[in-house]
Amino acid sequence: MKNNKIRKIVTMMTARAVSTLMMGTLTACGEEEEKQGTTQADSRAKEPVELTILAAASLTDVCNEIKTLYEAANPNVTLTFSYGGSGALQTQIEEGAPADLFLSAATKQMTALQEQGLMEDDSIVQLLENKVVLIVPADSSLEVASFEDVTTDKVTMIGLGEPGSVPVGQYSEEIFTTLGTLDEVKAKANYGSDVRTVLSWVETSAVDCGVVYATDAYTTDRVKIVCEAPEGSCKRVIYPAGIVKASGQKEEAAKFLEYLQSDETSKLFASYGFSLMN
């Protein structure tokens, strides 16, 4: 009888030990699976992503700073910016060049791409506003005080953006058309492939004056602003931004586009002279 009691006690202790061991094993397995799941999720979250952004040349300086800040906060993301005239960038998208986002210096190019079904309609936002200004070299002695002075003998050559593909060139033609002086200005015009080319001509005194955006003029002390375009002489200079439909990184592109509209980035845009869209 005594031996039977001992056997029952041993059997109960063994069962408890096995149960405890099994519970410990299951818990350990669960923790390991959870750990592996978290590791896999982290791994997916940190997979390298490269976004290609086609941006108007006038955004070069501010976007270079944005690139540095965004990549520091998102180590798995690489932002590759390609700058140029908005018309030339539009053509690249039309021809199937790799692109995730498009930042245009005018609504015309964005609208054209949208009408062709090449942009994600719901993603397009009016991001920024700029001003068109007349500039001269910082050491210029010419008494140029207005857009009207371009047609006088004070100016021999003026730098303008190519109106067929460069928004600032299109705004310039609109201004001089409004003033009734376009034909006279054309006779003195040298056309650049983007706004930064025009800026460089004025910086080096290759032309007597030029028409650029206010934000471009603020990037250098080698030019001085004569005046802003006369009120009502051209459309508002709106910079739209949107996701290219052919993008293979739409989720990450949307996150970056949201970042461009954040308070932090808005202050940065403002520091470069852009007006923020409400």
* Residue count (the chain): 278
* pLDDT higher at 96 or 20: 96
Its CATH architecture, for the domain 132-228, is: 3-Layer(aba) Sandwich (3.40)
Rg over CA atoms, the chain? 30
Domain ranges in the chain are: 1-36, 49-129+237-276, 132-228
Residues 6+ positions from 224 with CB-CB distance below 8 Å: 135, 136, 137, 138, 140, 217
CATH of domain 49-129+237-276: 3.40.190.10
What percentage of the chain reaches a pLDDT higher than 70?
Answer: 83
Is pLDDT of 31 > 80?
no
Specify the pLDDT at position 33: 52
- Band (pLDDT 50/70/90 cuts) for residue 209 is very high
Specify the pLDDT at position 34: 54
Is pLDDT of 38 > 70?
no
